[in-house]
Amino acid sequence: MTDLETIRKALEQVMDPELHRSIVDLGMVHDLELKDGTVRFTLALTTMACPMRQGMQDEARRRLLALDGVKAVEIECREMTDAEKQAVFGQSGRRRGSAEAYNDIKHIIAVLSGKGGVGKSTVAALLAVALRRKGYRVGILDADITGPSIPKMLIQGEARPMGSPMGILPVESKSGIKVMSINLLLADPNQAVIWRGPLISGAIQQFYGDVVWGELDYLIVDLPPGTSDASLTVMQSIPLNGIVLVTTPQSLAGMVVRKASSMADQLGIPIVGIIENMSYFLCPHCGREVALFGPSNAAELAVALRTPVLGRLPIQPELTVLADSGRLEEYQAAEFDSVVERMLTVVPEQMSGPAAR
């Protein structure tokens, strides 16, 4: 016959997905009782705005109803008191507000371009979308604080990251990509942000370290364009495993991308490969590739930089339409799927890269 001990044991199997510990272990279960086949308890949450709230209740209900003699489950939610939060986070030795301790990020891949306007942010967002479609747990950090545009592509309408005792909770896109950007924190997203070097470094370290990313297979980082101080600072502030270079078929773009690559070399960060964006336009009438910006120089660049070409992407007007309305996740392109396939074959070899330092 089920007793309170058995019930407690069942609840020990229910994990807080962000904290990776059982709700019993975290001191979230209170006033547990069993009466006439009904289990009642209070679930104390770190914040009432906890996005995992429903999921944890559902899981608890499912496990308890599977027990012999349990006919109903009643759960009441409340917020943990300050003393309770202190007890839990103090006990685990974690500093309050230090999200890094809760994060387990397997690969951090940054996207860099030689100059602005080549589609770096679009490619970064598309990488996140394609990886998510493959079932990976994905986050994207908009570190292009000089022109943050990631939320506009992936989030529709108003969304704000929420605070929690562990740190800042990122906003989630429709398909579940965790998004963090300075734009999500500004009162007016159209406001220009002027950052000086030390501020950039501080802001980025905070974005990386104080955001509760949880468990991620891939964190994509959209770097500021070019070889400016801003991109250098960001590259030094985050333990990157690899860099994807985005370029367009113009000799100038090639030249600046070499510069970007040499910067990555100096920092000891491996280049995963090159993506040539706006490489051609597929004529809707004859189906031929039209080299609007001149012939592709991706192969040549790849040889010079000793890195693979991950793919060439066409100019697609519908991409801009989807990107401008927060619907980039609806974009389907075979070209991009093969880019990601190629990237995935390169990336695992690089996991002993700098992030493992």
Question: Which residues between 145 and 164 bind ligand ADP (CB under 6 A)?
Answer: 149
121 contributes a contact to ligand ADP by CB under 6 A: yes
Single-letter amino acid code for the residue at 288: R
Single-letter amino acid code for the residue at 181: S
247 contributes a contact to ligand ADP by CB under 6 A: no
Q: Name which of 266 and 325 has its Cβ closer to ligand ADP.
A: 325
Single out the residue of 45, 46, 52, 119 in contact with ligand ADP (rule: CB under 6 A): 119
Q: Name which of 136 and 281 has its Cβ closer to ligand ADP.
A: 281
243 contributes a contact to ligand ADP by CB under 6 A: no
**Which x/- pattern, by CB under 6 A, does the window 277-306 give for ligand ADP?**
xx----------------------------
Provide, rounded to whole angstroms, the least separation between the CB of residue 121 and ligand ADP: 3
Q: Enumerate residues 6+ apart whose C-beta is below 8 A from 323.
A: 122, 125, 152, 153, 331
The residue among 327, 321, 329, 323 whose CA lies nearest residue 129 is 329
Q: Name which of 122 and 297 has its Cβ closer to ligand ADP.
A: 122
Size of the site for ligand ADP (CB under 6 A): 18
Tokens matching residue 349: 């070899």
Residues 153 and 133 sit within 8 Å (Cβ to Cβ): no
Helical H runs in 174-314? 197-209, 229-237, 251-266, 298-305
The span from the CA of 209 to the CA of 309, in Å, is: 32
Q: Enumerate residues 6+ apart whose C-beta is below 8 A from 271.
A: 242, 243, 244, 245, 261, 264, 265, 305, 307
Residues 40 and 8 sit within 8 Å (Cβ to Cβ): no
Backbone φ and ψ for 192, nearest 5 degrees, come out as -85, 140
Residues 13 and 63 sit within 8 Å (Cβ to Cβ): yes
Range in contact with ligand ADP (rule: CB under 6 A) among 24-32, 48-56, 68-76, 319-327: 319-327
Residue whose CB is nearest to ligand ADP in the complex, by number:
119
205 contributes a contact to ligand ADP by CB under 6 A: no
Q: Name which of 105 and 328 has its Cβ closer to ligand ADP.
A: 328
Residues 257 and 223 sit within 8 Å (Cβ to Cβ): no
Question: Which residues between 209 and 228 bind ligand ADP (CB under 6 A)?
Answer: 225
CA-based diameter of the chain, in Å? 78
Provide, rounded to whole angstroms, the least separation between the CB of residue 83 and ligand ADP: 47
339 contributes a contact to ligand ADP by CB under 6 A: no
CB atoms inside a 10 Å sphere around CB 103? 20
Q: Name which of 91 and 325 has its Cβ closer to ligand ADP.
A: 325
Provide, rounded to whole angstroms, the least separation between the CB of residue 113 and ligand ADP: 5
The residue among 200, 204, 17, 197 whose CA lies nearest residue 104 is 17
Single out the residue of 316, 337, 344, 346 in contact with ligand ADP (rule: CB under 6 A): 316
Single out the residue of 315, 333, 344, 346 in contact with ligand ADP (rule: CB under 6 A): 315
38 contributes a contact to ligand ADP by CB under 6 A: no
250 contributes a contact to ligand ADP by CB under 6 A: no
Single out the residue of 10, 29, 70, 113 in contact with ligand ADP (rule: CB under 6 A): 113
Alpha carbon of 172 to those of 158, 180, 261: distances in Å? 12, 9, 31
Single out the residue of 50, 169, 319, 355 in contact with ligand ADP (rule: CB under 6 A): 319
Q: Enumerate residues 6+ apart whose C-beta is below 8 A from 172.
A: 51, 178, 179
Q: Name which of 232 and 339 has its Cβ closer to ligand ADP.
A: 339
Range in contact with ligand ADP (rule: CB under 6 A) among 118-126, 163-171, 286-294, 296-304: 118-126
Residues in contact with ligand ADP by CB under 6 A are: 113, 116-122, 149, 225, 277-278, 313, 315-316, 319-320, 323
